[in-house]
Structure 1
Amino acid sequence: MRCPICKKEFHPQPKETHTYALRGNQACEFLLQKCPSCGDVIVMRKVGAYALSPQKGVTVQGGTTEIVYPVTDDEKELVSLEVPDEYRNDFYEAATALEYSPKASAALSRRLLQKLLREKLEIKKRDLSQEIDEFIANVHAPSYLTDAIDAIRHIGNFAAHPIKYENSGEIVEVEAGEADWLLEVLKSLFDFIFVQPAKLEQRRQALNAKLKNLGKPQLKGR
């Protein structure tokens, strides 16, 4: 994970864990972690299906985890913990570069966008523009997201800068607001690919716990 204060990466090893049973067969777990670099305390919250074991007592199965303290003012740095580190780190790099070089930030964001389309959505075409076309044609994607990704071409003026989609990571001139828009679209894409499926799985596990208590067949996972 990444410390919200000093931005250093480290492997989380919580020193304290406090778990509480909630209503509806769910549980909430608070994990306290000190950043090994700056020493600041980080508090994480995990909510998921309730489970009870003789050794550990109440535990959380599955669920989603988020940092609840400290809260930073820079929204560009807020990325859900459900996003794998390799994509999270690429996003942080693009977000950090924004202040110093919008051109570099946009190039990093375009490269990450193409990486997500190819690796997570299995959309592989000759260039980024064609991959955007295929994503827009995906009936499973919400319209707000397809519209946002389609706008990347217009805001970035792909027609005047074909290098942006032919070589997505190339550093070239950017239009006003282009780099910022790319970061916002990436956060929405993270939510679609990683966060919402995790939340759906959390709800499925909670419902299965109820069905199990009633002696009914459980829902199958993906």
Structure 2
Amino acid sequence: MSKDTLFRQTLVDLFANNPIDYVIETGTWLGTGSTQTLATAFPANRPPKAYYTIEGNLTFHTIARFNLRKWSFVKPLWGDTVAKDKALAFIRQDEVLKNHEKYPDVFIDTLDNPVQFYTNEVEGKLGKNLIISAVDWFGNSFLNRPQDLLHQLVLRHRDDRPLVLLDSAGGIGWLEYQTVRDTLGNRPYWLILDDIHHLKHFRSLADVQTRPDFRVIAHSLQHGWLVAEHLVQ
């Protein structure tokens, strides 16, 4: 997504023609991907008031804070985008994961017990090394890990016409999208989806494309992204 020239030009045009004061992003990773792409696409004389970006891995969050320090409006947050018990229940009940053979055109990270794979992802058990494990132990032992940050931020800025970018954890993209859609209701906002060919957001893509209250600005199936505007009906 971040390396696609059409995506960047779409952002430049969007920010040049619309006053966007608040951005809410899920999935910071190291801060060198979509976060920097959006941050550098804003006009230099009209940056947003706040760009919140949420990362669940404390090691990645710490690195991202360093990588994003030159943009004072970017506010990296550590914690869970949705409450962990809700995320785990969603994954365990997801019909697509339980019957993934019915969705051959949807990319799923593994077909070998995908419910367990995405459960492990939400629980922070994937891709660990000694450093990440040590930082996780410190965070879990001495820090109060925030939960449900996506809903809290969207609720706080629901009347500010925010831009919401969902670069979600693999198993909960549809849950995050529903959280945004249902919380903002009939209010105007901007939406960016990443990995629209993936389990993350293939349902989110279908919902946006079939609802009369969304206008698709641009998208790329090849690079897996969509930018849309939610309209007041």
TMscore range, shorter length: under 0.3
Q: Which has the larger radius of gyration?
A: 1
TM-score (norm 2): 0.26
